Amino acid sequence: MTDDRAGIQDLKKAAPIASGSPELWGGLECSVVRVGEDLRDQFRETGHIGRPGDLAAVLRLGISKLRYPVSWERVAPDDPAQRDWTWHDARLAEMQRLGIAPIVGLVHHGSGPAYTSLLDPKFPEKLADFAAEVARRYPWVEDWTPVNEPVTTARFSGLYGHWFPHKADEPNFLRMLAIQCRGVLLAMRAIRRVRPNARLVQTEDLGRSFATPRLQYQADHENQRRWLSLDLLHGRVDASHPWYRRLRDAGVTEAELDDFRTGDLAPMLVGLNYYITSERFLDHRLALHAPSTHGGNGRHSYADVEAVRVTVPTAATGWLPRLREAWQRYPDTPLAVTEAHLGSTPDEQIRWLAECWNAVTTLRAEGADLRAVTVWALFGAVDWCSLLTRRSGRYEPGAFDAATGELQPTAYAEAIAALARDGRLDHPVLASPGWWRRDDRIAPEVRLAG
């Protein structure tokens, strides 16, 4: 795929998507995650870091807004005073040349560089110092995500122990969550001293837990917990909030909680990420499920499995009900889908994106301020099947297949380009449902799990 200047100009002049449709954004899997002594860098593992032509390939899809990091861990991995901007300078300059607007991320599922962590009380100030320098270096950037998915990262690092610093209890989870959210607050204040109209695009996973009646209390607990980062950043966590006491008992100070209620994080756009595994089913009938799914809460033992694999009613799952919940909870905040991705075949990826797009257009027609859909992991991802905890090299393509080291557009890329051009998906594969809507998705032994 050549970088043709005339072709780029033609794309810049192309007609926008249909009037009234959401915008179509893109994103690259860009996590930098510590697992023990191992550092997982998805830009290196998918090959993006060595392919300067990738950004022109994004533009050829018709995407002109891209979630893209200036990663703290890549720029200053060992010493905050030693920062190497060479790679990021080149990529951001190329984005300017191409006319691609970035949504700049600073920490994506990471714990920061080696001289900090998610349990470092100074993490927020250190991140704010870095954010200020990034803003000074790229003052033309309008949209920012200082920390991606704080609840998800705190769960995997502080509640389940998958990622550094490998803790597994609620107090550590809550401290990590509050530290990340305070990092967002201080980083945006620093950025706005350089660019006063900078917009926060705050992302979070949009899941839900279902359960057998015996475990409904645990599902209710998890369904409250999933909103914590957004509630904090909206200034909603006061003494009446159901998680206020837990946060205070975990060591989060009243002054820190008060600071969130100043309201200076607006303008904010809430970015919603949803995966086929984001919805869970909690089942006390352990014998029905593989031992690897077994766990518990100290009161009951149970299996934690994908809701899509049991008989949860399909009307209760999927893009439409999850996005509707977010709209109902934050009716006055603009929303966007900031990650739409399915690790599967191109046909199934097209069906997944179509379901997302249709849900967004349905809610927009009802009055929701849902502004965009982001096609995520355009160049694929590596080892997310194990949450990056094993180096098995399992690559899943996105719009492009980069398994050989060179980008190869897939049928999914063609569908994305058509969506960018026409504002709708009209593809032959949509005549049949995705696997997550078919009856054979349910394992026979758990057909009664709902």
Task: Give the lowest-confidence range in 50-54, 127-131, 309-313, 406-410.
Answer: 309-313
Residues 27, 398 contacting (CB under 8 angstroms): no
Cα atoms found within 13 Å of the Cα of residue 299, Cβ hemisphere only: 5
pLDDT of residue 433: 96
Residues 25, 360 contacting (CB under 8 angstroms): no
pLDDT of residue 444: 63
245: its two tokens? 């006491």
- Quick one: average pLDDT of 240-249? 98
Nearest-angstrom CA–CA distance, 411 and 374: 18
Domain of residue 105 covers 5-446
pLDDT of residue 441: 86
57: its two tokens? 């390939």
pLDDT of residue 2: 41
- Quick one: average pLDDT of 277-283? 96
Asked whether the predicted pLDDT for residue 17 surpasses 60, the reply is no
276: its two tokens? 């086929």
pTM score, whole prediction: 0.94
303: its two tokens? 């299996």
Q: Which residues contact 52 (CB under 8 A, 6 or more apart)?
A: 90, 91, 94
- Quick one: average pLDDT of 378-392? 97
Per residue in 94-148, pLDDT tens? 999 999 999 999 999 999 999 999 999 999 999 999 999 999 999 999 999 999 9
Nearest-angstrom CA–CA distance, 25 and 375: 6
Per residue in 147-196, pLDDT tens? 999 999 999 999 999 999 999 999 999 999 999 999 999 999 999 999 99
What is the SS3 assignment for 412-431?
HHHHHHHHHHHCCCCCHHHH
Asked whether the predicted pLDDT for residue 250 surpasses 60, the reply is yes
Asked whether the predicted pLDDT for residue 48 surpasses 50, the reply is yes
Residues 312, 321 contacting (CB under 8 angstroms): no
Q: Would you tell me how many other CB atoms lie within 10 Å of the CB of residue 431?
A: 6
Say which CATH number the domain at 263 has: 3.20.20.80
pLDDT of residue 7: 46
Looking at 235-285, which runs of residues are DSSP E strands?
268-274, 279-283
Per residue in 343-354, pLDDT tens? 999 999 999 999
- What integer best gives the mean pLDDT of the chain? 94
Q: Name the pairing type of β-strands 101-108 and 65-69.
A: parallel
pLDDT of residue 445: 59
> Peptide bond preceding 267: is omega within 30 degrees of 0, i.e. cis?
yes
Structural domain tally of the chain?
Answer: 1
pLDDT of residue 446: 58
Q: What angle do CA 23, 27, 28 make, to 5 degrees?
A: 165
pLDDT category at 312 given cuts 50, 70, 90 is confident
pLDDT of residue 16: 45
Nearest-angstrom CA–CA distance, 392 and 164: 19
- Give me the percent of the chain exceeding a pLDDT of 70: 94
Asked whether the predicted pLDDT for residue 40 surpasses 60, the reply is yes
* Collapsed DSSP state (helix, strand, coil) of residue 53: coil
Residues 289, 449 contacting (CB under 8 angstroms): no
